[in-house]
Amino acid sequence: MEEQDLVMGRMSSIARFIYETMPNFTVSGYVLFIVIFLLSVLVYKLGFAKKLVFKQNVVIYIFLLLGCLMLTFLAFFLPVVEALLVAALILIIYKIRLKLEKRGSTT
């Protein structure tokens, strides 16, 4: 019990929340991976995605999936999910302001 408390105390806040609310550690690992992958896809789409051929998109998402696997291991003790949330929020705000500026300049 001591080791588990030590590990839980060192986890980042969202990872700890996921591990405390899920029924077992296996499910919580998969949930953490899915959260990181979805946030990474969102950040990619908002900030970096261009119109590409389907095959190129498949290759990009495969490498994104592999990269998210590495990020999941880092997310146990580093605030990876929190950083992806902040990046997504910044990009969402940027896209909204960009649309408002374009709409304002056309009138």
Is the pLDDT at 36 greater than 80, yes or no?
A: yes
**Average pLDDT over every residue of 14-31:** 90
Give the model's confidence band at 4: pLDDT under 50 very low, under 70 low, under 90 confident, else very high. low
What 3-state DSSP class applies to 95?
A: helix
pLDDT in tens, 45-78: 999 888 889 999 999 999 999 999 999 999 888 8
Hey, what amino acid is at 79? P
Q: Per residue in 27-53, is it b (16+ CB within 10 Å) or e — as a string? A: ebbeebbebbbebbbbbeebeeeeeee
Cβ-contact 52, 24 below 8 angstroms: no
pLDDT greater than 80 at residue 8? no
For residue 32, pLDDT beyond 80 = yes
Mean pLDDT of the 6-28 span:
84
Proportion of the chain above pLDDT 70, given as a percent: 93
